[in-house]
């Protein structure tokens, strides 16, 4: 399974998720399917980071599409937060920090990396990017455990999801409180990632970037002028 197929699958899962969020909020099964999208995008971001010949262009492209997608994102979901491209961009910056050598002294180097990544996580949490610190940490996990086997990667993602759910455990006693575990279904994305063969496949890079703002705009227009 090449990166093209993974991108197509991630876009399908994302579309299902957004259709559920916008039109059928009570059909939580659609949102469960949608949880598979972000881990695949995170994995592909790490692949892109490792293989890119120009990190500046890669980062600029992400940031520009973040700007282009912002209004469609706010219109579609009627919220005032920042879209997923901003989280992906923050994750890319965290990857750069992770690999950058600030000091010759390894202990100082490790400390500044940890502090900088914590600062990035706090920032995305404060400005409310989609998936905020959870998204950034997932991207880091895919980088750190890239060549350490699926079992260790799975364990790290389980721990991340446990950390994510902990503050919401108080809602477990409420009706439909089990939904706090919905994000954990994202772990199923590893089934698809496990079949990745390292190949690019068809080159439709900008089509996948454009899909995000375009599909949100279409969903918004349908909601405003057809569903109503």
pLDDT the model gives residue 168? 72
Which pair of structure tokens corresponds to residue 34?
């949608």
pLDDT number for residue 136: 97
For position 224, what pLDDT does the model report? 85
The DSSP code for 104 is S
Segment holding 167, helix H or strand E: none
Residue 147: the pLDDT is: 87
What's the confidence (pLDDT) of residue 44?
A: 97
Return averaged pLDDT per consecutive 10 residues of the chain, 228 residues in all: 95 97 91 95 96 93 97 95 97 95 86 96 96 96 92 94 80 65 89 92 85 96 82
Q: What is the pLDDT of residue 77?
A: 95
How many C-beta neighbours within 10 Å does residue 185 have? 16
**109 contacts 102 by C-beta, under 8 angstroms:** yes
In sequence order, what are the residues at sequence separation of 6 or more whose Cβ sits closer than 8 angstroms to the Cβ of residue 18? Answer: 34, 76, 215, 216, 219
Helices marked H in 52-149 = 55-77, 84-99, 106-127, 132-144
> 34 Cβ partners below 8 Å, 6+ apart?
13, 14, 16, 17, 18, 20, 21
């Amino acid at each position: 399974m090449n990166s093209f197929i993974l991108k197509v699958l991630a876009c399908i899962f994302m579309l299902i998720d957004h259709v559920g969020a916008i039109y059928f909020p009570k059909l939580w099964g659609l949102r469960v399917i949608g949880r598979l999208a972000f881990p695949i995008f995170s994995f592909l971001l790490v692949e892109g980071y490792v293989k890119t010949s120009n990190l500046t262009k890669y980062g600029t492209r992400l940031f520009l599409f973040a700007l282009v997608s912002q209004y469609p994102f706010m219109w579609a979901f009627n919220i005032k937060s920042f879209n997923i491209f901003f989280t992906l961009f923050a994750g890319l910056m965290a990857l750069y920090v992770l690999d950058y050598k600030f000091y010759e002294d390894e202990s100082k180097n490790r400390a500044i990396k940890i502090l900088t990544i914590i600062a990035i996580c706090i920032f995305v949490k404060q400005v409310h990017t989609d998936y905020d610190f959870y998204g950034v940490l997932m991207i880091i996990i895919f980088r750190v455990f890239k060549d350490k086997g699926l079992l260790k990667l799975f364990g790290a993602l389980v721990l991340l999801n446990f950390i994510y759910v902990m503050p919401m455990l108080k809602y477990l006693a409420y009706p439909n409180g089990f939904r706090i575990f919905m994000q954990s279904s994202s772990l199923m994305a590893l089934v698809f990632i496990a079949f990745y063969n390292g190949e690019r496949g068809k080159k439709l890079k900008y089509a996948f970037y454009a899909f995000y703002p375009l599909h949100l705009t279409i969903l918004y227009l349908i909601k405003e002028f057809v569903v109503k």
